[in-house]
Amino acid sequence: MGDKKPIHIFGHLNPDTDSVCSAIAYAYLKNKIDPKNEYVSAALGKVNEETAYVLKYFGLEEPKMISHLKPQVLDIEFKDITCVHEMDSLKSVLEAITGQIGRSVPVVDDQGRLIGIVSISDLIPMLLSTNNNLDMKQVRIPIKNLIEILELTYYKQKAEIQFVQGNIYLWSELSDEHVVTKDDVIICNKNELKLINSTTLEAGYVIVGDVCEDVLDISEEYEGVIFTSPQSIFDLIQNILHTLPITSIVKKGQLEYFTTYETIDDVKKNMLTSKYRRFPVVDEEGCIKGMISRSNLIEVDQKKVILVDHNERGQSIDGIDSITIVEVVDHHRVADIQTISPLYFRVEPVGSTCTIVATIFEEQRVKIPKKIAGILLSGILSDTLVFKSPTCTEIDRIMAEKLAAISAVNIYQYGMRMITKGERIQDKEPDQIIEGDMKRFTFGQYKVVISQITTGDFEGLYQMYPKILEAMQAKCSRDGLDLVVLMVTNIIVGGTEVIPVGEARWIAENAFDMEKGDISIFLNETFSRKKQIVPKLMKAAHL
């Protein structure tokens, strides 16, 4: 399942209990009936106190909170690449590069973390080098490079160190002026090896060329390491250069790379201002994942999502137009979401999206677990205000009774405790009250926001009136809104206090027959934003 790209399921912005619980339950159902894909529930914001209470009550974790699903670097399907290390030989790196698009490869450490990049243009100066006196004291050559490139075999003893850092001499070029140390390497043939035995040379390493399975004449007094090679002396000298590690030519400074979580839009902007054509990609730990170029940016697969409890662009995730919507399950009006390809679109005139999701469980003959039944019931009770809202249907009531039986809760006791849980107005900041369950609307030329909070704390409301009004006015100015309406619903009292603010306050005054000078109005038996508030405001705005 880890290799599958997740299909996210989420509700609207400022998520309420119905949107969060329907997303969690539908993700569970989809994973049961479609194991070929991975479905993940998410929320487009922090869950409110009521929803947090529900999830804790039934022992479920809050869904992951996401702010966008714009295409990211991780959505690119990377081709397999070869990585190299700083101590790899010039020859092996050259072979790796010639097999790569773009003629460059990332350089990584032993944990696979990016430390630099090397390209064919960096290797050419080394390849064309005529430095054949081989003064290598400034270069640490890994023993493994020498063994691999020069086809060396241990003949006497084994090296106790991993690197050679000394001069490399041809025996025929040595003179009395040379001072040979245990760090140095001598290259010779079989006959020259006899001469080495008769001298006091202290070379730590001897490479004998042109040797297949010969028995060598070696003095027992020589304590250094002896290698043999089938290569001729000429070939050994030519190939020594290829054993050099690429450390000195790795580009590390001002390295340009991208991370998997960056958006494609940001990558495009950076690529346009860069002199490079190919870039390494790393994950959050810095480990290399691949290389990308501009051509990769047109091959990005769109992320797939399922929308629950909404189908309106303004109430959905940022970048919704760049996402593939595969399903919509909702109980609101059909709005303005457009799709390129056909999709499963299910909208029913019931009081809760959770009612529809529970119905799909039954249609698919999937048993509803106790915890899932509990959150589905919670979504129904929340959106219908324990059946008091005019949006509630007989279908909602029947389904709620089934779910209550599975989850083993008393509908009315649990419902009242859930709806009033944690909704003390005095415990909230004014902005939390306004933005907790907020939806945007456009009535002709007027931009409107309608927020709703369900509480039994009317006393707290009256104490916070001045701060709430001030915050609503600030919201109008900050977001360029014509009207902000706050619904403070109390199902115990049996109605909603409606507070309108803004230049277009007259719309609410006409819609609800408010007296001039009234700050707010209490509407008896009014609980539904969708059926009892929005239609009246819309009608008044178009008078």
Q: Could you read off the pLDDT of 51-102 as tens digits, one per residue?
A: 999 999 999 999 999 988 887 888 787 788 889 999 999 999 988 888 777 7
Q: Return d(Cα 385, Cα 528) in angstroms, integer.
A: 9
Choice among 119-133, 151-165, 301-315 with the minimum mean pLDDT: 119-133
pTM: 0.62
| Buried-state track 175-201, b at ≥16 Cβ within 10 A, e below 16 | eeeeebeebbbbbbeeebbeebbeeeb
477 or 490, which is more confident? 477
In percent, the amount of the chain with pLDDT more than 70 equals: 95
* C-beta separation of 424 from 386 below 8 A: no
Query: Does residue 131 surpass a pLDDT of 60?
Result: no
Question: What is the spatial order of strands in the sheet that 278-282 belongs to?
Answer: 258-259, 278-282, 288-293
Query: Does residue 139 surpass a pLDDT of 60?
Result: yes
Query: Does residue 307 surpass a pLDDT of 90?
Result: yes
Q: Return d(Cα 267, Cα 36) in angstroms, integer.
A: 31
Residue 407 pairs with which residues in a beta bridge? none
Q: What residue ranges of the chain are covered by domains with CATH 3.10.580.10?
A: 75-127+248-298
The pLDDT value recorded for residue 130 is 47
Residue 54: in which H helix or E strand, if any?
helix 49-57
Task: Tell me the average pLDDT across 198-206.
Answer: 76
- For 20, the 3-state DSSP assignment is helix
Measured in whole angstroms, how far is the alpha carbon of residue 336 from the centre of its chain? 28
* C-beta separation of 245 from 123 below 8 A: no
The pLDDT value recorded for residue 436 is 77
Cα-Cα-Cα-Cα dihedral sign, residues 298, 299, 300, 302: positive
Task: Please give the radius of gyration of the chain, using alpha carbons only, rounded to the nearest integer.
Answer: 37
Q: Could you read off the pLDDT of 363-404 as tens digits, one per residue?
A: 999 999 999 999 999 999 999 989 988 889 999 999 999 999
Q: Return d(Cα 143, Cα 141) in angstroms, integer.
A: 6
Q: Return d(Cα 530, Cα 374) in angstroms, integer.
A: 25
The pLDDT value recorded for residue 132 is 47
Q: Return d(Cα 211, Cα 213) in angstroms, integer.
A: 6
Residues 6+ apart with CB under 8 A from 301: 5, 71, 75, 77
Return the CATH number of the domain spanning residue range 7-71+302-420.
3.90.1640.10
Q: What residue ranges of the chain are covered by domains with CATH 3.10.310.20?
A: 425-541
CATH number for domain 75-127+248-298, candidates 3.40.50.720, 3.40.50.1970, 3.10.580.10, 3.20.20.70: 3.10.580.10
- CATH superfamily of this structure's domain 141-243: HprK N-terminal domain-like (3.40.1390.20)
User: Nearest CA to 185 among 226, 238, 129, 130?
Assistant: 226
Q: What residue ranges of the chain are covered by domains with CATH 3.90.1640.10?
A: 7-71+302-420
Query: Does residue 199 surpass a pLDDT of 50?
Result: yes
User: Nearest CA to 321 among 309, 308, 339?
Assistant: 339
Please tell me the number of Cα atoms within 13 Å of 152 on its side-chain side: 28
Q: What residue ranges of the chain are covered by domains with CATH 3.40.1390.20?
A: 141-243
CATH number for domain 425-541, candidates 2.60.40.10, 3.40.640.10, 3.10.310.20, 1.20.1290.10: 3.10.310.20
Residues 6+ apart with CB under 8 A from 145: 87, 88, 89, 92, 243, 244, 245
Cα-based distances in Å from 424 to 109, 383, 412, 454, 461: 55, 19, 20, 10, 9
Task: Categorize the per-residue pLDDT at 138 as very low, low, confident or very high, splitting at 50, 70 and 90.
Answer: low
The pLDDT value recorded for residue 134 is 45
Query: Does residue 195 surpass a pLDDT of 60?
Result: yes
